[in-house]
Amino acid sequence: MKRAAVILAAFPELRAVERALSNAGFACAGNGVFRSASVEVSLFLCGVGAKKLSYLKRNIHYFRQCDTVLCAGLAGGVSPEYCAGDCILPETVASLTNISEPIAVGESLRQTVLKCGTVPFKKCRLLALSSAIVRREQKTALRSIDAVDMESYRVMRWMGERAVPAAVVRVIGDALDDYIPENDILLTATRTQFRIIAKRCLKNPCCAGRILKFVVRTRRALKSLGRCIAKIVQEK
């Protein structure tokens, strides 16, 4: 049986992938494990900003047994060519402190992912930041970068130090000119957050339309992420 591990940052991303795997015919075996007749997929959370890498340490032996290890989630588009929902497959991943020495994603694993022809991947130079950027001017200040996230560099460096081949798969959650509410990078459809959204819209009626568009756009991107991961892990 083929094994795949998918490392995600936040619960909305995890839930989106879980739903997509279930819709693709995978059976939930509990503890983030999904199985089909030929594939076992395990989902892991590393936390926003990869602050829970210690959790991954307990599963290093499993990662070494996997045929595919993916660091997946949403990303912010910097290149004007990207639209929300685009699937990207980075060739390099850098951080601000190591921007001149990016980590190259293993070409053999990238080619394996690219074989999933039903997903139109775009090439990408990815930069991992320590905090989210929400304004256009912050994005345009980044040179020679196509997209940003907060986890990929730390996860890829951690895997590289342990000789575990891994690839990064991201879906653009917000394009260069898309509106992002402050501190609302991942809104989900829980009852409490619906209340938060409603309160924000009532408090700032002039921004209500933009906030609702952000919510809809994020949910669509999460669905795209789930479908993308489901197709990759099913590829033989």
The residues spanned by each domain of the chain are 2-182+221-234
pLDDT at 41 over 90: yes
pLDDT at 236 over 60: no
HEC states along 67-98? CEEEEEEEEEECCCCCCCCCEEEEEEEEEHHH
- For residue 65, the Cα-to-chain-centroid distance in whole angstroms is 22
Average pLDDT, the chain: 83
Pairing of strands 2-8, 147-149: unpaired
CATH T-level assignment (fold) for domain 2-182+221-234:
Rossmann fold (3.40.50)
* Dist. CA 163–CA 158, nearest whole Å: 9
At 172, list the tokens: 């653009």
Q: Is the pLDDT of residue 66 over 90?
A: yes
Say how far residue 220 (Cα) sits from the centre of its chain.
Answer: 13
What's the pTM? 0.86
Q: For 178-225, how does the pLDDT look when each residue is reduced to its tens digit (9 = 90+)?
A: 777 665 544 444 444 666 667 767 777 777 777 778 888 888 899 999
**Banded pLDDT at 106 (limits 50, 70, 90):** low
| Of 202, 220, 223, 224, nearest in space to 211 by CA | 202
What span, in angstroms and rounded, lies between the C-alpha atoms of 21 and 230? Answer: 6
Parallel, antiparallel or unpaired: strands 87-95 and 167-174: antiparallel
